[in-house]
Structure 1
């Protein structure tokens, strides 16, 4: 171990710098960006720099704006940790999920926060949640245990190998440390490996992290491959929501369906550990940010359109919280079949399995069918994701919403349940119980 200490110091000094060509979102993102063909296919090349993105402003919709002082305070918290590749802050401590006056009614959890956090939270009544993504979580924990041993439960005394094993092998691959004070601010932070996050964004293995990024978050440190992966994740969320929605619907119905994807099957919603109106609160109080996040993706799809095109050409329409525009989608079999074919790979397999059971397709025949529809060909190359006969057969069914919901349940429920149990180990019994009690109190709230 002593030989590793100089390396640790070098790694600490070489904190990744922000690329010079990065710019953050202003109050309005560019509309109707022309998306390159097949940018969201599985053959997206590995990027080494933001200059290699499909175009200059690609993915800028992800960079939701806060004021500069609040952003600096959040980045100041990140500087107290070992190097990371990607990071974002999320939840009601960053973007409100209730009326502005609500935080004034509770005692602030922050012992001595920066003024910017007090002002942004209108009283500082919310713990701030972070996701930190290092390239190698064991090395991160090795450094973090030496710098912040008090952040960890008894597992920390067993070393970074045990901590990273518990993180990677159980649940959704996430390790939480709640009720941590950094720079006078109460935070909860999750650590997740780069590869785990990337895989969930592109394949929807668990939707545990991809689902968090379906909602507005404050991205604080970026990486080009994860920007592309998250753009695919957001587009997948729109496609999945469309398969659940009727021919016509409103903006809020679309965003509520997207928000609800990762809550479907989550035991916290089932057993009253979350506010039953959580989804409605998130969408209602963040409608502007949802528009910034999804509008360009919506207009890029050929099978969805706004009923009132004039409304979205008016200046500052995104800023109007009273608007709830109507949208419609093409319910044609070919359009819907292509959406099914382009669902994330792991999740799509679960949808296929629902219809294998419905059609009682023998296992061997089903496997041969899956082989024929694989994304890669016999030579190791990648094929264009175009609907096949099985996708068209599914698209003609009226029970798509029911079977999509079953696939979401299968994706979400087990990893979410294991993560909840894992919290007793990672947070320690006392902090885990405190967190559960606070969640239960929120679950009893009516708004």
Structure 2
């Protein structure tokens, strides 16, 4: 595997924080190129180097306060070399993160007026929102998504302009500190946002939120500032647990894809960086030795839809994942390029890395290669999120027919916490055996489906009660109409170009 100096700037590497040590032999190279940092002033570099490397982006554009960033504390338990193996999710200040640029890859650069219009929606809620992001096709256009008449009663001009008349409902997630307290305040201000459950009080609403499904309570088809929105409320601890453990993958999966963070929180930023790194590792376990950049992002984006009941029923666009990635290549690259640059077993292997503008070109789909060494892949298995990793281990206990007593002993010996050891987890014989197994893709996919299926199904059922029967029927009808429209477009495209190639397939010609 050829490696040379990467054109991904050092500041971008720092934005993801160090994941693996850089050896002098391998250098920091991730692709075939003899070029160093590009000289172009393209938007990606502006946003990453001059913007996100400053306190302005960390605290203004990234959704914090307008004050300058506090200097990094050397006494912090979060160090750049081991942040992912010994995370401290009790942090409350951005200064406690491993570096001032840590996690800025999570912040997508969008139109400034549109961003402010989204933030103005948040200001209409008196209940304190600690963390918030907007997501979906109402924020990030997807290829293949059609335009319809506006559903917004009187949206600001910036929203109308960005959506180009499609009038799509905008989805939000609000992270809050105390669910019952938040709903109590919100019920007093916005009783009309709730279904009949709201009349039972904040305690019942918070119990429905926290005890069923994935811990999210959605209010849908709400008009705020003349804009039709849907917002989900989640406790910050529930959110961070899913991001780091993958116990439901409901919110972790949404954050695998580009979102617009409107209010940031340091512990969520830390937890989400772990989530993105986990998504990258799982995708690599699902992919062959050689693949394209499009295939990588398509695999990552598809994780959250495995086992989702909506993808089985005629309520979702069957090309949804492909459309998401095709329309957001530049955003996916911003999200994952820093992480790719820091992993020692994956790299870009494309001559186009030598071109200064490849990072900013959404039409460039580069070839990639990963090291299939079972030791390195075994380490990836060992470093998967704990709740998800346990499901995969149990899958292989059954496949390898390991006796329960022997399996429990092996798991206990493998538990660094019980051994009182704080170190980067290393895969042992069991993990290497998993990594070499011919059924790895099947077993990983099965573990994902088992993680997602029940919480997403319960969450869908819960939506009938939280939204109310009327709004639920409207929502299902909209989804079915979108599904039928997508099928019609697919059939029409097949008739016109029956032999057309996907970006991923066409890319293989460059290998």
CA contact (8 A) 1:87 1:219 kept: yes
Q: Quick one: distance in 2 between partners of 1:250 and 1:322?
A: 13
Deviations, residues 299-345 of structure 1 (Å, cap 9, x unaligned)? 1100001112x533533322323211000000011010000001000
The correspondence for 2:402, drawn from 349, 361, 384, is 361
User: Does residue 392 of structure 2 align to residue 351 of structure 1?
Assistant: yes
CA contact (8 A) 1:376 1:383 kept: no
Aligned to 1:84: 129
Aligned to 1:301: 343
Do the aligned partners of residues 426 and 375 (structure 1) sit closer, same or farther apart at CA in structure 2, a change above 3 Å counting? farther
Normalization by structure 1: what TM-score? 0.90
Alignment of 1:220-369 (within 5 A): 220-308=262-350, 311-369=352-410
CA contact (8 A) 1:287 1:321 kept: yes
Aligned to 1:39: 83
Task: Give the C-alpha shift of residue 43 in structure 1.
Answer: 3.8
Deviations, residues 342-362 of structure 1 (Å, cap 9, x unaligned)? 100000000001100011222
Deviations, residues 351-389 of structure 1 (Å, cap 9, x unaligned)? 00110001122222222211111241344x644311122
Q: Quick one: distance in 2 between partners of 1:158 and 1:228?
A: 36
**Which stretch shifts more, 47-56 or 394-403?**
47-56
Q: Quick one: distance in 1 between partners of 2:64 and 2:347?
A: 40
Give the count of matched residue pairs.
416
Aligned to 1:49: 93
CA contact (8 A) 2:377 2:435 kept: yes
Task: Give the C-alpha shift of residue 434 in structure 1.
Answer: 0.8
Task: Give the C-alpha shift of residue 124 in structure 1.
Answer: 4.5
Task: Give the C-alpha shift of residue 44 in structure 1.
Answer: 3.5
CA contact (8 A) 1:154 1:428 kept: yes
SS of 1:398's equivalent in the other structure is coil
Do the aligned partners of residues 181 and 367 (structure 1) sit closer, same or farther apart at CA in structure 2, a change above 3 Å counting? same
RMSD after superposition: 1.7
Do the aligned partners of residues 79 and 45 (structure 1) sit closer, same or farther apart at CA in structure 2, a change above 3 Å counting? closer
Do the aligned partners of residues 385 and 277 (structure 1) sit closer, same or farther apart at CA in structure 2, a change above 3 Å counting? same
The correspondence for 1:98, drawn from 143, 163, 166, is 143
User: Does residue 476 of structure 2 align to residue 436 of structure 1?
Assistant: yes
Deviations, residues 390-437 of structure 1 (Å, cap 9, x unaligned)? 111211211110000010010000001001100111000110111111
User: Does residue 202 of structure 2 align to residue 160 of structure 1?
Assistant: yes
Task: Give the C-alpha shift of residue 79 in structure 1.
Answer: 0.8
Deviations, residues 169-215 of structure 1 (Å, cap 9, x unaligned)? 11111111000000000000000000110000000011100000000
User: Does residue 98 of structure 2 align to residue 58 of structure 1?
Assistant: no
Do the aligned partners of residues 340 and 431 (structure 1) sit closer, same or farther apart at CA in structure 2, a change above 3 Å counting? same
SS of 2:250's equivalent in the other structure is coil
Aligned to 1:18: 65
Unaligned runs of 5+ in 2: 1-62, 71-78, 490-511
Task: Give the C-alpha shift of residue 38 in structure 1.
Answer: 2.5
Do the aligned partners of residues 128 and 22 (structure 1) sit closer, same or farther apart at CA in structure 2, a change above 3 Å counting? farther
Do the aligned partners of residues 313 and 375 (structure 1) sit closer, same or farther apart at CA in structure 2, a change above 3 Å counting? farther
SS of 1:276's equivalent in the other structure is coil
Q: Quick one: distance in 2 between partners of 1:220 and 1:373?
A: 40
Task: Give the C-alpha shift of residue 18 in structure 1.
Answer: 1.6
CA contact (8 A) 1:377 1:383 kept: no
SS of 2:318's equivalent in the other structure is coil
Q: Quick one: distance in 2 between partners of 1:298 and 1:385?
A: 19
Do the aligned partners of residues 42 and 397 (structure 1) sit closer, same or farther apart at CA in structure 2, a change above 3 Å counting? same
CA contact (8 A) 1:21 1:51 kept: no
CA contact (8 A) 1:64 1:289 kept: yes
SS of 2:281's equivalent in the other structure is helix
SS of 2:168's equivalent in the other structure is coil
Deviations, residues 69-113 of structure 1 (Å, cap 9, x unaligned)? 11111110001111111100000000011358x32xx11110001
Q: Quick one: distance in 1 between partners of 2:68 and 2:166?
A: 33
